[in-house]
Structures are given as structure tokens and as C-alpha cells.
Amino acid sequence: MSEKAEEKKGESKGEILPRYKLSPENAIVIVHKKDGTHYLRAPPYTMAFPTEFQAKARIEFGTLAQKAKGKEWKGKYEMPLAALYVKQMKNYTFGRTHKLKKWERILLGID
């Protein structure tokens, strides 16, 4: 294979970037509506810059995935072990970001 062919092979436009390289600047979200229409939009800002509570949730899900890694799935449940751990956290909350009301933003001089 020639050098030019190898260079082009690595520059595929359909290449999927790893999560750590994704940012709002280099990503597009495809939205599929129920009526069959599709459109492109910018991804949410919190995709690359999560709030404190979103970061805690992502860390917890990663911890659960590592906890399930290497364990054998017994098969008595109809789902993988990691999914079972996540299902057990159904009503667990990590917190909520408080959005200031308009009058609060004015008083604090944010607007």
C-alpha cells in the first residue's frame, strides 16, 4: 500500500472519535423525530463540560461498570450484570443544578 493510500485511510470522514476527543466544536447530533424527519443540531454544552452532578453520575456509572467487569453473569436475570447494577440505582439522585430565576440574576448582577 502506498504512503498516500495509508494517509487517506486514516483521514476517513466517517471516523468515530473517542469520547475524550468529542467537544461541542467537533460534534454533530442527529435528531430523529417520531414523524420520520431528521435534522442536525449542535450538541448540548454539557456534553463536554458537565455540571458537578452530571460528572458525579458519570463517575458512578463508570464505577458500576468496573465493578461488573470480569464477573460472570449467572444467567438467572435477563440482562447483563452491569445493567442490573444500574437498574438497582433507579431512584438514586446525584443532585440538581439550581437555575436562578430572572429576578435573582438581576439582583446578583449576572444579566
pLDDT band for position 16 (cuts 50, 70, 90): low
Residue scoring higher pLDDT (17 or 82):
82
Alpha helices for the chain (secondary structure H): 3-10, 52-68, 81-88, 102-108
pLDDT value of position 92:
84
Share of the chain above pLDDT 90, in %: 7
pLDDT value of position 27:
74
pLDDT value of position 8:
46
Helix (H, G, I), strand (E, B) or coil at 87: helix
What does the pLDDT average to over 61-80? 79
pLDDT value of position 56:
92
Mean pLDDT (the chain) is: 77
Cβ atoms of 61 and 73 closer than 8 Å: no
pLDDT value of position 13:
55
